[in-house]
Structure 1
Amino acid sequence: MNIFVGNLSYRMQENELESAFAQHGEVQSAKIILDRETGRSRGFGFVEMSNVAEGKAAIEALNGQDVAGRNIVVNEAKPRQSGGPRRRD
């Protein structure tokens, strides 16, 4: 199950994100999205959990909770849209 995690602290590391979710089940991966130009966190990421029931339990337990000083937003990730317009700077 792929889970979106928003409103992350800009100082949060991927291992901290993984640790928060590991309390609720097996985490396959935890990825914080970085800005391409600056390399800094964009304040959101994704967690992949192997078990759907554990993923739903993690969403229920962590959505709105304080993690590293921020109330995080946690929900099931929507599939990525392909073929849409791309931002060009």
Structure 2
Amino acid sequence: MEKMVKLFVGGFPLEMTELELVQMVALYGEVSTIKIVRDKKTKICKGYAFIEVTDYQGAKQIIEALNGTTLAGRQLTISIKEDEPEGVKPPVYMKIRRPDEPVRAKRPRRV
């Protein structure tokens, strides 16, 4: 069984619904899941989404057909989202204090 392929979709009209987006993309590949990214407080669309399709061939067809097209005056950007390897976290950079270095007090936060 082939692995699902996650696509990044950006540049679509902000008022577009999940159903409308799926209907547009489903003409070229089988959609498994969709997630339109919205602001947590206002619930307003941020203008991009992630769509999972069932196979790589469908993902390529979607990109070839829709990437760069104009929809309601906005240009669509569609690309394959590469997954980060599991268990690998980005490095955390910290200043390491030498044993003889004094500890500096932090300034209070401005409100």
Is the counterpart of residue 29 in structure 1 residue 33 in structure 2? yes
User: What SS is found at the alignment partner of 1:75?
Assistant: strand
Is the counterpart of residue 9 in structure 1 residue 13 in structure 2? yes
* In 1, Cα distance between equivalents of 2:77 and 2:22: 15
Which one has the bigger helix percentage? 1
Is the counterpart of residue 60 in structure 1 residue 64 in structure 2? yes
State the identity as a percent.
Answer: 33
Structure (1 or 2) with the larger CA radius of gyration: 2
Q: Are the counterparts in 2 of residues 12 and 68 from structure 1 also a CA contact under 8 Å?
A: no
Aligned residue pairs: how many? 85
* In 2, Cα distance between equivalents of 1:13 and 1:69: 17
* In 1, Cα distance between equivalents of 2:84 and 2:48: 15
Q: TM-score by structure 2 length?
A: 0.68
Identify if the C-alpha distance between structure 1 residues 14 and 80 changes in structure 2 by more than 3 Å, giving closer, same or farther: farther
Task: Specify every segment of 5 or more residues in structure 2 that has no aligned partner in the other structure, as ranges.
Answer: 93-111
Structure 2 partner of 1:76: 80
User: What SS is found at the alignment partner of 2:49?
Assistant: strand
Structure 1 partner of 2:54: 50
RCO higher in structure (CA 8 A, sep ≥6): 1
